[in-house]
A and B are shown apart, each in its own frame.
Chain A
């Protein structure tokens, strides 16, 4: 078990190294000059040379990459030994070209909004998706099943920017029941937090619960045909116990896996949702960074979301071993 975890962490780190190297390489493949990008409007050749030196862009590529990686683990110091010495503590991902803020601080600043979207929406879509899937499976072939699966099929084929904009138009612009989506701290303004997050949650949950509903329904129906469900009936268990204990237990395992990966992906940035609702999360941070060619921020967000996905993968595999006793971790 421990050695398994160790191996997974090592291989995860290797993947991160590759991801970071690729993203870092983009700096140099791009036609744009990073020094000019960070220079701003009042720029001169002198200034560019100075910036190039400040950002250590005058070093060779391997040296730069090495210092970048070192910065993540132990921090780094720009312009060492000069009066303008700039100390960037670990984990250092450099400074934004646009705002000159440390990328780490930006990520820390934006994470709560993204986490709010991801966790809120996931609770909602699990509730809706699982319950409608279960009801559909138990009432297979009835109008409830046909209706909910019809809605699910429709929802799964819609796009976030369409549903999101329609909902925003109705509830914010026309009815004015909700404020414009945004982010307030749930610790200080819990009511505003819920009101502002409501539309992103509903939009994401609407689409994802459709997928989960279909997954749950298909899983339940498959398990209902298993021999061990017939055994459970032969024992004299009530239908409720059979469905909620034996069938659901069998059907839930693959759903947990998909859920872990979805959540991990979302935590790295609910890109489209944040963009559509203009929420200052990681996704918005990365789309803005791409629009402005803010290379340190792009690198930072990509590595950050890769970490989430890798961690989610490891957690899902561990969880799978807990849920399925036949899987022995080794």
Chain B
């Protein structure tokens, strides 16, 4: 299989605050040495808790942020340090959907204008004209094509997220980064949007990076899942392996923390309770970053940072994998 995206050693350090006049500025190590591939047409999930760097990763890949180090290769082209102008033709193939359907749509533009914006920016006239194409897109995402002239505030949260999806879909991209696309939506609406994204992914053969904190949501969308902790991937595996045989203690703990809907199944599940919160990315723990909350941690975990190694069908960064 050919890969559409190759990420190697991707790093983003944000400048933090300074403590004295000539002192060094703190560095927030949001993403630190991330490597993974996405195959053409593949749906990969990126999960982790707040501060793990999953959203930053999405913004780096779509080049909304400038990477500090590492390499991003999209469709065979090194896009790590391309300028905005150089990125423009590439954006036709590389789109992003945001979490907040209220903040990510310009309230003064009609839905037609919003969905047509990729054509305008790219200077592209689709076959049959922009309007016809936009109406087709609205229909694809399950909106009434007659609502072309309405404004975002006339739509509900779920419908707005559909508008964002139509916009991302306009140029038939090869890869869509979806950053928490359903977490702002009501439970009954979440399923609609997950189903829609899944249909689009298979129908148009688009590769997806699905960023979410909810493991159950990712399970219903992704074929492969990467678990992030404090700026790094700790485990990456195909979906069934990851959910049934997690190898990294953090993945195990994360799965065990998901509340169980069936009251009778609660007792039968293994209960792992992590203590404390995720440490501060300004001063991440030495060695394995998860060691401060890990029940298996030994001396080596503090001194050496585990590399992502192939174990069975998973890749795991742990000195003591399951």
Contacts and interface: CB of A to CB of B under 8 A. Distances in A.
A–B contact, 8 Å CB criterion (strictly below): yes
B20 A3 contact: yes
A330 B24 CA distance: 12
A53 interface: no
A7 B23 CA distance: 14
A65 to B, nearest CB: 30
A245 B18 CA distance: 33
A330 B20 CA distance: 7
B21 A7 contact: yes
B275 interface: no
A295 B17 CA distance: 46
Interface string B1-36: 000000000000000011111000000000000000
A3 B20 CA distance: 7
Nearest to B20: A3
Contacts, number: 9
A328 B17 contact: yes
B17 A6 contact: no
Contacts of B19: 330
A17 B18 CA distance: 28
Interface residues of B, number: 5
Determine chain A's interface SS by DSSP, over half rule: helix
Interface residues of A, number: 5
Contacts of B20: 3, 330
Pick the most buried of A6, A7, A330: most chain B CB atoms within 10 A of its CB. Answer: A330
Contacts of A328: 17
Contacts of A3: 20-21
B156 to A, nearest CB: 24
A107 B20 CA distance: 38
Contacts of B18: 330
A328 B17 CA distance: 10
Interface string B192-203: 000000000000
A328 B26 CA distance: 14
B236 to A, nearest CB: 38
A178 to B, nearest CB: 54
A1 to B, nearest CB: 10
Interface string A1-20: 00100110000000000000
Pick the most buried of A3, A6, A7, A328: most chain B CB atoms within 10 A of its CB. Answer: A3
A7 B17 CA distance: 16
B28 to A, nearest CB: 15
Interface string A296-328: 000000000000000000000000000000001
A328 B18 CA distance: 10
Contacts of A330: 17-20
9 contacts: A3-B20, A3-B21, A6-B21, A7-B21, A328-B17, A330-B17, A330-B18, A330-B19, A330-B20
Interface of A: 3, 6-7, 328, 330
Identify the 7 closest CB pairs spanning chains A and B, nearest first: A3-B21, A3-B20, A330-B18, A330-B17, A330-B19, A7-B21, A6-B21
Given A6-B21, A328-B17, 7 more contacts: A3-B20, A3-B21, A7-B21, A330-B17, A330-B18, A330-B19, A330-B20
Interface of B: 17-21
